[in-house]
Structure 1
């Protein structure tokens, strides 16, 4: 049966009169009668009984009409959902994000996104920026958020840059670094970031640190520094709101300009055409506009 047959049965059940039902369906009575006979033939049973007073449902007819009503209700629900797809944000937003951003910045943005678009789903993976680029190249995610200067030919949006600081509970001046016996705590990172720190260190001190502790995660490095075990070089994104009692010395390059790390949003053109990605970009832009001083 087609949806038109389901509607025919429900109208007949509502009117219980062939003439009135034919008028509502914009067909002639003979045509309506013929279509009803064909439906009853398909079901192999009588659905309506005719009399001088009109129509009445057979027991089997009651079951069939209830079924027709249920089908039409489900059709309406599906059509409403399809209409909603055109006006609401649905689907899964697939993001690959540099771990440091995923831990310290992205959650605030995602909170706004899920509050505004409750029907959307999120798939998030984190890792080093080199891993994020690989995920985008392999098309396993829609967009990536990476640190540094990306070698990317497609669309990219600059999100923010945050300064790098030498952070410690004791060292207040950069000259004191060579005087302390406390360790320099380093965390494993992508090669660009690591090289940037190494270049700065050798320009500044022309020697290696007296003692070094290497950890696998930036969060471990941060917590060890905050607990006074040693000093570290950390980006501002990790320090906001949790740096009480710490001394922060900004890193300067050879031109005495502050050294900062950039964060970028990038992906293929086709990804930025997706409704959920467009909505996410809008949320990011709003967040950056209202939180421009959050990172320094």
Structure 2
């Protein structure tokens, strides 16, 4: 049976599908890597990879072996994390998946403080849309997920903060003026529940859709187009600060006349809190949130 180091070799080969790139990641020569692969294939009694000019391709048997290899490596990592959690101090890898907007605007100082406080701990960070964060949690790829909007989650849920939504423009100071302008509404791609919040607000206000719309991939692009007067946008407060000059920020109000808020939540399974690096991160976040609200 192959050893853990050989499982790691197979996993890297399956990720790269290229002998040269895999040998560089593994810090071995290509001939040495080729020889080790032949030995492993003899142990399994079958070819796992097929070579071609374009690189490597998995055989049907290879697909089954790589699936098994990745499962074993995943379990090995969990055992190592458990061992780390039993030792004194905070170490091991903290795996976080965070909504991109939070990762860009709120998370950096939190991670900096965590790294300074617990230098022995490592951080693995994934960013994406909230729907992708939930999938990472369901697939057990991360310890903690931080998402935007109301989560459908049966595990531990901790509300971190709420930030208001603003109508942002260089000229418009009241929502009613949106019906008078021919300039476009600039939107950034996001999760469907965010779109739904904006659409609900718009229909309550105007009973009609915007005259013109521009959709961009990134929220930063949306901001810069708005700040330069190409149109107006609706942005969450987390992306704005007091440094914006000559920009009007009009709070969006709900049907009760209260500020429309976007919530940010921390999600995790109860078992994750048994890991010291996870509990330490959650404690630090709570401290950070309480200080920010003062």
Specify every segment of 5 or more residues in structure 2 that has no aligned partner in the other structure, as ranges: 1-82
Give distance in 2, aligned partners of 1:87 and 1:240. Answer: 41
Secondary structure of 1:180's aligned partner: coil
Specify every segment of 5 or more residues in structure 1 that has no aligned partner in the other structure, as ranges: 1-81
Query: Who is 2:96 aligned against?
Result: 95
Q: TM-score, normalised by structure 2?
A: 0.70
Q: Aligned pair in 2 of structure 1 residues 222, 283: CA closer, same or farther (>3 Å)?
A: same
Give distance in 2, aligned partners of 1:168 and 1:83. Answer: 51
Within 5 Å, give how 1:1-296 maps onto structure 2.
Answer: 86-292=87-293
Secondary structure of 2:288's aligned partner: helix
C-alpha contact 2:188 2:218 (8 A) present in aligned 1: yes
Q: Aligned pair in 2 of structure 1 residues 155, 181: CA closer, same or farther (>3 Å)?
A: same
Query: Who is 2:68 aligned against?
Result: none
Deviation at residue 272 of structure 1 after TM alignment:
1.5
Q: TM-score, normalised by structure 1?
A: 0.69
Give distance in 2, aligned partners of 1:242 and 1:209. Answer: 28
User: Once superposed, what is the RMSD of the aligned Cα atoms?
Assistant: 1.6
- Greater mean deviation of Cα atoms: 218-227 or 87-96: 218-227
C-alpha contact 2:85 2:277 (8 A) present in aligned 1: no
C-alpha contact 2:144 2:266 (8 A) present in aligned 1: yes
Aligned length: 212
- Write the deviation string for residues 149-174 of structure 1: whole angstroms up to 9, x where unpaired: 00111111110000000001111111
Give distance in 2, aligned partners of 1:210 and 1:278. Answer: 49
Secondary structure of 1:87's aligned partner: coil
- Write the deviation string for residues 226-246 of structure 1: whole angstroms up to 9, x where unpaired: 222111000000002443321
Give distance in 1, aligned partners of 2:219 and 2:273. Answer: 30
Give distance in 2, aligned partners of 1:143 and 1:201. Answer: 34
Give distance in 1, aligned partners of 2:238 and 2:229. Answer: 20
- Write the deviation string for residues 111-162 of structure 1: whole angstroms up to 9, x where unpaired: 1100101111101011111110000000000010001000111111110000
Q: Aligned pair in 2 of structure 1 residues 116, 211: CA closer, same or farther (>3 Å)?
A: same
- Write the deviation string for residues 172-191 of structure 1: whole angstroms up to 9, x where unpaired: 11111111111110011111
Give distance in 2, aligned partners of 1:194 and 1:246. Answer: 23
Deviation at residue 84 of structure 1 after TM alignment:
10
Tell which structure's C-alpha radius of gyration is larger.
1
C-alpha contact 2:149 2:262 (8 A) present in aligned 1: yes
